[in-house]
Amino acid sequence: MTAGTLVRSARKSRRLTQANLGRRAHLTQSHLSLIEGDRQNPSFETVERALRGAGHRLVAVPTLRDDAAAIAPEIRADLGFGRPERALRRFIQLNDDLSAEHGAIRFALAITEPESTGSKQWDAAIAALVAHHLAAEHLPVPQWATHPSRFLKRAWVFGVGPYALPPEPDRVPAAFLERRILIDQDTLRSV
């Protein structure tokens, strides 16, 4: 995850504009824009100051796996470039990353609210994935993953291409079913 993604995710999770965060963190809006756009490599102190301004803290977690906040912008980019199959691969990678970790580390990979992918369906799917893995270990689900915006009004068959078929409801994990994301439980099994 880049410093820009980290700052942008923290800012958006608090529903702050760059100008609002700039006032709180004593940084200019233009400086924040450069950081968030990955056009400047800020110092550690500047990143910490921006995160504190958004009410976040930087924490080191002993893992090399990506978290939901890092994967969501990549999915957004893939969808924007018309590459849904790559977005699907990134989603599966997030699933594998969450599956591989346990306890506090799994929770740490899910705690930061990811920015929107630009797709209500994909945003709901990421929330369902997080809720699914945290519930499996009886860990708390972050508030962002239970926000009404992360639930669909109409069912969506998860998958890419004309061969994405709806699974039987009893094969859809609970966190996905309640968000109306129709995904077969076998899709979430690592190989």
Is 24 contained in some domain? Answer: yes
As a whole number, mean pLDDT of residues 34-39 equals: 95
As a whole number, mean pLDDT of residues 111-122 equals: 94
Residue with tokens 């926000």: 147
Same domain, 37 and 124: no
Same domain, 183 and 154: yes
- In the chain, count H helices and then E strands: 9, 2
Is 59 contained in some domain? Answer: no
* 36 three-state secondary structure: helix
The answer on pLDDT for 149 being more than 70 is yes
The answer on pLDDT for 127 being more than 90 is yes
Report residue 150: phi and psi, to 5°: -95, 15
Tokens of 69: 């906040």
The model's pTM is 0.85
Measured over the CA atoms of residue 98, residue 103, residue 108 and residue 111, the dihedral's sign is positive
Q: Are 63 and 109 in contact (CB under 8 A)?
A: yes
Q: How confident is the model at residue 5 (pLDDT cuts 50, 70, 90)?
A: confident
Same domain, 41 and 88: no
**Mean pLDDT over the full length of the chain:** 94
Tokens of 183: 């995904």
Is 60 contained in some domain? Answer: no
Is 106 contained in some domain? Answer: yes
Q: Read off the pLDDT of residues 69-100 as tens digits, 9 standing for 90 and up.
A: 999 999 999 999 999 999 999 999 999 999 99
As a whole number, mean pLDDT of residues 93-116 equals: 96
Same domain, 22 and 81: no
Number of domains in the chain: 2
Same domain, 85 and 164: yes
As a whole number, mean pLDDT of residues 33-45 equals: 95
Q: Are 70 and 111 in contact (CB under 8 A)?
A: no
Q: Are 183 and 155 in contact (CB under 8 A)?
A: no
Same domain, 111 and 86: yes
Q: Are 98 and 109 in contact (CB under 8 A)?
A: yes
Same domain, 46 and 84: no
Is 63 contained in some domain? Answer: no
By percentage, how much of the chain surpasses pLDDT 90? Answer: 86
Domain that holds residue 154: 68-188
Is 40 contained in some domain? Answer: yes
Same domain, 77 and 101: yes
Distances (CA, A) of 58 to 44, 98, 109: 10, 20, 13
Same domain, 72 and 120: yes
